Amino acid sequence: MPARPHDHAGRHVTRPRLVHLTTTDVSLALLLGPQLRAFAAAGYEVIAMSAPGPYVADLVADGIGHIPLRHATRSAAIGQDALALAELRRLFRTLRPDIVHTHNPKPGVYGRLAAKSARVPAIVNTVHGLYALPEDRWGKRAVVYSLERAAAACSDAELVQNVEDVDVLASIGVDRAKIRLLGNGVDLGRFDPGRADPEAVAEERRRLGVGSDEVLCGAVGRLVWEKGYRELLDAASRLRVSHPEARIVIVGPSDPAKADGLTDADIARARNDLGIIFTGARPDVEVLYAAMDVYVLASHREGFPRSAMEAAAMARPIVATDIRGCRQVVEAGHTGLLVAPRDADALAAAIGQLVDDDAQRLAMGQAGRTKALREFDQNIIIATTLETYSRLLAGDSRPPSSGGRHAMSGATP
């Protein structure tokens, strides 16, 4: 276990120790990586915790400590979750962090409980999207909301990404004084259409086998059916007849650990029968966004979808489902189109509408870029989180009187 750091003279260094907890290392590296690096640069000793995996090396290379967890799992395994809670409690008692920051769903529950029982001074949780929605069946809502209420009783701050979750949390008994609307953001420097090399984009389209007269419609995300791939494949089947110039590319890794993961056979059928292009995971996803003409997100459930924000920042028009999260990214009729979830006909029609209209694609894409610059800057998220840390370390549990997102520059320990 890492001991408290000392300087070259052996004196105790008082950098606050900050732990971020997720289930997997991919979440730490790809979703939280820029934030973790910013927190370290702001003066925190940052330690990440998750199940071990291939992305740990990237974290360590960036100066982020990592402690592998034996019992962190994404599957429904109550016994493993109980073991994870006990494991974390032992680690927190040994490490004595100043702040534990958890990320839901599962680590957000057992992580907050473990941190409270280990008497961690400040406990923060990010609500990336409540796992139950108001329209879900009562039984699911009862379980999820009960767990969320119990875990939130252990925290000092609840940073909520999606505005639609704020009132839900308050309605189930979470103290409004703890709730702060955080929003979500991406790296607007990386996802900038002005930085895209036209030759690299043209080469990418050639590599994908997409002709100059074809309209490339892309999706980015893990290969699980919950992301709406069944509807996207059905829509692709319809588009082959109505809009043969439309091509579909899906970017993202397989996820065999999930019960609803696409199998190799599913992928092979989509590739052979429908001409779907699968790239797998790609570190240069910004080049792929630039190669796309339309971005599609047909998800059944989202918190605040990062891929859609990235596509908007890259000035791509978006066709998305009319659900929590997508509604916050897409302004229907202005930056893209919203369709009912699980409706392949509506999805195909919306994609076809944009395939037919070059001018509408361009106008919506530019409007999306403008919205991204205004609302999706990850620096605001980082500043708001740092301000929350500083406030809690100072012993002030009250949120700023202004409420909502609060971008305070220079918030350091």
Read off the CATH number of the domain in which 104 is found: 3.40.50.2000
Question: How many angstroms separate the CA atoms of 351 and 235, rounded?
Answer: 9
Q: Mark whether 159 and 294 lie in a shared domain.
A: no
Residue 306 falls inside a structural domain:
yes
Residue 4 falls inside a structural domain:
no
Question: How many angstroms separate the CA atoms of 341 and 231, rounded?
Answer: 9
Question: How many angstroms separate the CA atoms of 97 and 305, rounded?
Answer: 30
Question: How many angstroms separate the CA atoms of 85 and 82, rounded?
Answer: 5
Q: Mark whether 33 and 94 lie in a shared domain.
A: yes
Q: Mark whether 319 and 202 lie in a shared domain.
A: yes
Residue 202 falls inside a structural domain:
yes
Q: Mark whether 174 and 31 lie in a shared domain.
A: yes
Residue 68 falls inside a structural domain:
yes
pLDDT for 409: 34
Q: φ and ψ at 69, to 5 degrees?
A: -105, 135
Q: Provide the domain count of the chain.
A: 2
Q: Mark whether 231 and 349 lie in a shared domain.
A: yes
- pLDDT tens figures, 37-57: 999 999 999 999 999 999 999
The structure's pTM equals 0.89
Q: Report whether pLDDT(75) > 90.
A: no
Three-class DSSP category at 350? helix
Residue 344 falls inside a structural domain:
yes
Q: Report whether pLDDT(273) > 50.
A: yes
Mean pLDDT of 2-10: 47
pLDDT for 49: 97
Three-class DSSP category at 218? strand
Provide the pLDDT confidence category of residue 134 given band limits of 50, 70 and 90. Answer: confident
Range of the domain at 142: 17-185+377-393
Q: Mark whether 98 and 209 lie in a shared domain.
A: no
Mean pLDDT of 380-402: 86
Q: Report whether pLDDT(407) > 80.
A: no
Q: Mark whether 234 and 361 lie in a shared domain.
A: yes
- pLDDT tens figures, 93-106: 999 999 999 997 88
Q: Mark whether 119 and 260 lie in a shared domain.
A: no
Q: Mark whether 301 and 312 lie in a shared domain.
A: yes
Residue 406 falls inside a structural domain:
no
Mean pLDDT of 57-71: 93
Q: Mark whether 139 and 275 lie in a shared domain.
A: no
Mean pLDDT of 243-272: 95
pLDDT for 403: 44
